Amino acid sequence: MSFVADFNALPLDGLLKRSLSATPESVGEVLAGPRQATADFAQLISPAAGGYLEALCRRSQALTQQRFGKVIRLFAPLYLSNECVNNCKYCGFSRDNPILRVTLSVEEVLREARALKERGFRNILLVAGEHPKFVSTNYLLDCIRALRQEIPGISLEVGPMEADDYRPLAQAGAEGLVVYQESYNRAVYAQMHTAGPKRDFEWRLETPERAYAAGFRRLGIGALFGLADWRQEALSVAAHADYLLRKCWRAQLTISLPRLRPCAGEFQPLTRMSDRDLAQLVCAFRLVFPDIGLVLSTREPARLRDGLIPLGITLMSAGSHTEPGGYTGAGKENIHRTERGRIVDLGASEWATTRNGDLRATGQFDIADERSPGEVAELIRRLGYEPVWKDWDAALTA
């Protein structure tokens, strides 16, 4: 048994209908209760609940402070490689995109991590495209071993693996595994993922459970908003979170709320989710799942991030780069161009003209909040919260 069986039995159409037909009265009844249950989630994300946004925000803020204190954990993504065997229409790293690619050596990864450490980070998310030749289990193992003496919080966002492949990574010191389903809508998922192993919807859906079985103590899930209807996606994420809280109860669970950003390939969002919708969703997740971490990345612009911090966010990235070598320029010498998955000589192309200049690997997507980690930390303090760079150490569980 896995979440796939529960997901297949989920009455998504009915839940969505219930959400769209909610009334101010029915939402008021839900809010009148002492606490909100998973069954109330559809009401809380409804258009009718949009009229209660201020009340939702106040309640979400109070609950977050009660459970987490006035604390925001900070992390940074460290991109290891932008090689990928998949074609995902919305992603700059897609196999067929003619972009500049590189995989960092372990020494280069360490250089990047040290640069992040100098900026204050002790929580790092290692990110890579899915390409077993470049990003093998052994490569990841070498990266984790090289980093763990200096970086206490290491999480992974890499291509899904078997539990047996995850196990040595968790044992080596990686504490968290992040895997977004991207879209929980099977039809949209099939339309978006046109080549590569990622086409297997169910294999991806079961990934958090394999990671948990392998010993990861933090699990991160989410949908990429902008592909299918945001309420339908949110209902699926809520069902997934509810399942994982019951079945993988020893792990800490986080939900990310990424919205599509511009990237190579020029993909345009298929659906819209407004800033107000996003704020409402943060509150709905908080009210129904008081102890789940909510993650906000630099995909969102500074002003919106500042406004969302007090509403229920517990974990934020800052000063992010989405290209390998982005923090130090590491890996420059090995950057190459690929066309439809094949390496081509830079030759006299437009890329080559910058070879001795600012040649950088292509990023996964454009970030919107370009403030430095120090500026973000300062803003967090000004809002009356404490920025936390490190909240866990491997020595504590030895």
CB 389 within 8 A of CB 122: yes
Q: What angle (nearest 5°) sits at the alpha carbon of residue 62, between those of residues 60 and 63?
A: 65
The DSSP secondary structure of 272-303, one letter per residue, reads: ---HHHHHHHHHHHHHH-TTSEEEE-TTS-HH
CB 292 within 8 A of CB 246: no
Rule CB under 6 A: choose which of 30, 88, 219, 235 binds ligand SF4.
Answer: 88
Which CB, 130 or 206, lies closer to ligand SF4? 130
Stretch binding ligand SF4 (CB under 6 A), from 88-96, 113-121, 135-143, 254-262: 88-96
387 belongs to the binding site for ligand SF4 (CB under 6 A): no
What is the footprint of ligand SF4 within residues 197-216 (CB under 6 A)?
Answer: 198
The DSSP secondary structure of 344-374, one letter per residue, reads: E--TTSTTGGGTTTT--PPPSS--S----HH
Rule CB under 6 A: choose which of 7, 41, 79, 93 binds ligand SF4.
Answer: 93
Which CB, 134 or 243, lies closer to ligand SF4? 134
Stretch binding ligand SF4 (CB under 6 A), from 58-66, 90-98, 146-154, 339-347: 90-98
Stretch binding ligand SF4 (CB under 6 A), from 80-88, 144-152, 170-178, 267-275: 80-88
Nearest approach, Cβ of 289 to ligand SF4 (angstroms)? 25
DSSP β-ladder status, 153-157 and 123-128: parallel
Q: Residue 66, Cα to own-chain centre: how many angstroms?
A: 25
220 belongs to the binding site for ligand SF4 (CB under 6 A): no
| Cβ neighbours of residue 191 closer than 8 Å, sequence gap 6 or more | 89
Among the listed residues 121, 167, 126, 178, the one whose alpha carbon sits nearest the alpha carbon of residue 391: 121
Q: Which CB contacts under 8 angstroms, 24+ apart, belong to 6-9?
A: 6/239, 6/243, 7/184, 7/205, 7/236, 7/239, 7/240
Cα distances (angstroms) measured from residue 66 to each of 1, 46, 145, 183, 387: 35, 25, 37, 32, 17
Which CB, 93 or 389, lies closer to ligand SF4? 93
Nearest approach, Cβ of 112 to ligand SF4 (angstroms)? 18
167 belongs to the binding site for ligand SF4 (CB under 6 A): no
Number of residues that bind ligand SF4 (CB under 6 A): 9
192 belongs to the binding site for ligand SF4 (CB under 6 A): no
Stretch binding ligand SF4 (CB under 6 A), from 27-35, 41-49, 81-89, 386-394: 81-89
Which CB, 130 or 233, lies closer to ligand SF4? 130
Stretch binding ligand SF4 (CB under 6 A), from 47-55, 64-72, 84-92, 206-214: 84-92
Which CB, 88 or 126, lies closer to ligand SF4? 88
91 belongs to the binding site for ligand SF4 (CB under 6 A): yes
94 belongs to the binding site for ligand SF4 (CB under 6 A): yes
Among the listed residues 126, 131, 124, 125, the one whose alpha carbon sits nearest the alpha carbon of residue 93: 131
Q: What angle (nearest 5°) sits at the alpha carbon of residue 240, between those of residues 51 and 261?
A: 65
- Is residue 329 left, alpha or beta, with left meaning phi > 0 and alpha meaning psi from -120 to 50? left
Which CB, 93 or 216, lies closer to ligand SF4? 93
84 belongs to the binding site for ligand SF4 (CB under 6 A): yes
Nearest approach, Cβ of 267 to ligand SF4 (angstroms)? 11
Rule CB under 6 A: choose which of 40, 108, 112, 130 binds ligand SF4.
Answer: 130
Rule CB under 6 A: choose which of 129, 152, 208, 222 binds ligand SF4.
Answer: 129
Q: Residue 114, Cα to own-chain centre: how many angstroms?
A: 22
Which CB, 258 or 310, lies closer to ligand SF4? 258
Cα distances (angstroms) measured from residue 280 to each of 73, 176, 223, 234: 22, 27, 16, 11
- Is residue 34 left, alpha or beta, with left meaning phi > 0 and alpha meaning psi from -120 to 50? alpha
- Cα 170 to Cα 155: distance, rounded to the nearest angstrom: 9
322 belongs to the binding site for ligand SF4 (CB under 6 A): no
Which CB, 71 or 270, lies closer to ligand SF4? 270
254 belongs to the binding site for ligand SF4 (CB under 6 A): no
Which residues of this protein are in contact with ligand SF4, per CB under 6 A?
Answer: 84, 86, 88, 91, 93-94, 129-130, 198
